[in-house]
Structures are given as structure tokens and as C-alpha cells.
Amino acid sequence: MDHRARVYNDVFEMLPSVENPSPLVRINRLCPSPEFTLYAKLEWMNPFGSVKDRAAWAMLCDLESRGELSDGRGLVEPTSGNTGISLAAMASARGHALRAVVPSGIPQEKKVLLKILGAELDVVSDELCPSPGMGDGSINLAKTHAKAQPKRFVMPNQYENELNVRAHLETTGPELWRQTEGQITHLFLSLGTCGTVTGAGRFLREKRPDIKIIAVQPSEGHDVPGLRNVQQLDSCELFDRSLIDEIIEIDYELAYARVLDLCREEGLLAGPSCGLIYEGARRVIENERRGFGVMIFPDSVFKYVSSLVKHIPELAVDGPA
């Protein structure tokens, strides 16, 4: 494949890697200190639209290579949307079925996208980022399908699968190091399954022990799919607290306000988790003034149009349909 010409034999060749990293774009108008270089890593530029392409591909390839998807066996996965969308697209294109179990509160756009991509859907009452453990909800309903019908379903289980970490250890981390030429001093991200922070964080901490890894989380009762509030983090199997220097909790409504700033001031079509991360980064930069930071922007605003209208009512459009 030739990443310079960007001509590919199939969509999977477009998946991110050190040779084909997702883009870093500098934040100009919204960076509060001229001595701080701030970049956003645009994960929505991955072929299936989010940071989850990385973990989904690693888990799918692993299942295929171990023969777990032979004889018509498909996948079942609990997801707040992005992993399901990546997996659904990949699985469909490779001839596997996917049953996605999603929390009812995720945006309608994500539910419909999953169906467009051929997934069968279970919608359950659950947290926006399902928690592993003894509670009911998406994870345990997916486990029920896999246990009751083992010939029909295998469950990758992004919430507990170490490949979710390894994908970022082998791609996101090295990409960031190379793209910043080793200058990175701050990494800003949000925690959901914790695959990104544990994988990329482990790689970067090894390269640069004094790097500051800062997690930005929404306040309790939030409406930002895929993310956990601070109280929920301990239920996360892939969470490694020792990698994180600081956890900043932000009023989740600000995530939506910052989406508008990023769209209108920087031309970045960022989703609500990006808005949240940007607000956290902005506060740190206001205080520290100097540094070289990267924000991991997980996905774009397109899947959250209905959420934006809900939180910023003046965006509603009147007039004939």
C-alpha cells in the first residue's frame, strides 16, 4: 500500500499505524498560551470514524486468527456506540454477523448507524459507559448471549480485553511519539474502557517518564456516551491509576459548549468528548502556560447532532421538513 498516494486495495489498509497515523492538527485560536503548543489528534479520520477502530481491529483479527469466527459464528459486544460501529463495519465487510448491546441513552444516530452497518441491536437500560461487574446491563446481556449460544456468538469484550490496551501500545503511543518528534510533555484524554490511556500512556511514560497524563472526565449524571465519571473508574478492568497524573472533573454541559467553540473557532468538527477534553486542557494550560500537549479527540460531531440540540436548544431548526 502507498500511504502517500492514498490508494488502497481495501478499507482496512487505511487503518491507523505508525506509517499511517491519524492526523495531528494544531490548535491556534483556542490555545490560551502562546508558549504552549497544543495539538488535537483527530481519531475521527480513521476509516470507521473513531478511536475505536484501533481496538476493534485488534480484537477482530485476534478472533479470526484463533479460528473463533469459523462455521458462521458471529460476534456479540456491549458498546456505547463507537466500538460497535467499527466492529459492525469491519465484521460485515469480512462476512461476520454482529449483535451489539447498547445503553438506551446513546444518541439515536449511533443506534441507526449500527443498523445501517448490518448489526442486530439490543437496547438496554444502562449507564452510558457500561461497567463491568455484577450489575445488569449491556455487558451482562452480551455475556448472556455468548454463554447461552456459544456456537452463535463470541464476545470480544472491549472492557476486559487486553488487546484494547495493546492496540494503543502498538499504534497510538508510537504515532504520538513520532508525530511530536519526542517533544510531547502533556497528554490529554478521557477515560471510558481505559484502553487508550493504558496503552498509549504506558508507551509514552516509558519514553518520557516525566510526561503529564491528564484525564478529563464528565461530572456525575453526564450525557457523554462512552465516558465514565470519576466514581465509576474503579470498576474498569483496564484502568491503571498509576499512569495518570491528574483527573479533572468537568461539568458535562461544558462539553457541549466547547464543541461549538472547536467547530466555529478552529474548524474542527469535534464531538462532545473532544469538547470535554479541550476544556480540561484549557484549564491546565491557563495554569502551566508552557508545554507541548496533545489531546486525543475520539470522534466527530456528526453522531451527536441530536445530543447537541438537546443540550443547546437554540440549535434546533424550525421550518418545513
Give the binding site for another protein (CB under 8 A).
104-105, 122, 124-125, 133-136, 140-141, 143-145, 147-149
Q: At closest approach, how far in Å is the CB of 301 from another protein?
A: 24
Q: At closest approach, how far in Å is the CB of 195 from another protein?
A: 22
- 123 CB burial (10 A radius; 0-12, 13-18, 19+): middle
Q: Indicate the residue among 121 and 260 with the shorter CB distance to another protein.
A: 121
Q: CA 285, CA 153: separation in Å to the nearest integer?
A: 47
Does the annotation count 52 as an active-site position?
yes
Host H or E run for residue 175: helix 173-179
Task: Identify the active-site residue in 80, 138, 190, 273.
Answer: 273
Q: Indicate the residue among 136 and 206 with the shorter CB distance to another protein.
A: 136
Q: Indicate the residue among 120 and 245 with the shorter CB distance to another protein.
A: 120
Question: What secondary structure does DSSP assign to 137-152, as a single string?
Answer: SHHHHHHHHHHH-TTT
Does the annotation count 273 as an active-site position?
yes
Q: Are 46 and 175 in contact (CB under 8 A)?
A: no
Q: What are phi and psi of 295, to 5 degrees?
A: -105, 130
| Structure-block grid coordinates of residue 50 | 473513531
Q: At closest approach, how far in Å is the CB of 141 from another protein?
A: 6
Instruction: Provide CB contacts within 8 A for 5, sequence distance 6+.
Output: none
Q: Quote the Cα angle for 75-236-240, to 5°.
A: 120
Task: Identify the active-site residue in 22, 41, 52, 303.
Answer: 52
Q: Indicate the residue among 174 and 218 with the shorter CB distance to another protein.
A: 218
Q: At closest approach, how far in Å is the CB of 159 from another protein?
A: 14
Catalytic residues: 52, 273
